Amino acid sequence: NDWVNPIPNTAGGDPTGYLQVYKLVTLVHPDETEETLFDGTVGLNYCEPHVEDFALNLAKGHYQIKAAVHIIGPEMITVTKEGGIIEIPNPFVCQWINVTFDFWVTISEDISGAYFDTWHAGYEEVPAPDCKVDIRDIAAAAAAFGSYPGAENWNSVADLTKDYKVDIRDIAAIAAQYGFA
């Protein structure tokens, strides 16, 4: 039953209480230098989302956000079950969770480059732009010219005007930014 409920002996209830977590968040710049955005301990409540906001002024290029989280405590967690409240050992103590997010800073008219799969069903591939507007961007929009969602040559990234069709307005928007690098 652990594959359905990862915390053993907790059928019927979610863990409640407070977690103490060490968190290290870094930004990797295009030149591969790293900038620490957060390094310290935070308190979280079980089963509640935790969101961090960072205001960054970034130049164009490929960046990464790396987050490393280490759950420090508590040693025991409280779980409400059908028959009452129980305390069980915290199965997450001393585990590290490491996540890396890739993102690119560019302009919307930069539509050509590589694509990578998100590995999530129902989501299309995510574009990885080349950070310049050139003939390849115009060619990508031209290849999708006249298309709409569901068409074989549909490219949502080429629909810059977000009117669910790739037309001359989209190609003109790219041409207006031609040479951006």
Could you tell me if 33 and 15 are in contact, meaning their C-beta atoms sit under 8 angstroms apart? no
Q: Tell me the CA distances in angstroms from 66 to 69, 101, 115, one per residue in order.
A: 10, 6, 21
Tell me which residue of 56, 63, 55 sits closest to 31, measured CA to CA. Answer: 63
From first to last of its 181 residues, the chain has per-residue pLDDT tens of 333 445 555 555 566 667 888 999 999 999 999 999 999 998 887 677 778 888 889 998 889 999 998 888 888 877 776 667 778 787 778 888 899 988 888 888 998 876 666 666 666 666 678 889 999 999 999 999 999 999 999 999 899 999 999 999 999 999 999 998 8
pLDDT at 66: 94
Tell me which residue of 170, 169, 174 sits closest to 137, measured CA to CA. Answer: 174
Q: Domains in the chain and their CATH numbers?
A: 15-105 (no CATH), 113-176 (1.10.1330.10)
β-pairing, 126-129 with 76-81?
unpaired
Tell me which residue of 21, 24, 45, 50 sits closest to 35, measured CA to CA. Answer: 24
Position 151, amino acid: A
Return the biggest CA–CA distance within the chain: 68
Residues near 25 by Cβ (< 8 Å), separated by ≥ 6?
36, 37, 38, 39, 52, 54, 65, 66, 67, 68
pLDDT at 75: 84
Position 14, amino acid: D
Q: Is the pTM of this model over 0.85?
A: no
pLDDT at 1: 34
Quote the CA–CA distance of 122 and 41 in Å, as a whole number: 36
In this structure, the number of other CB atoms found within 10 A of the CB of residue 127 comes to 19
pLDDT at 27: 95
Helix (H) or strand (E) holding 138: helix 135-143
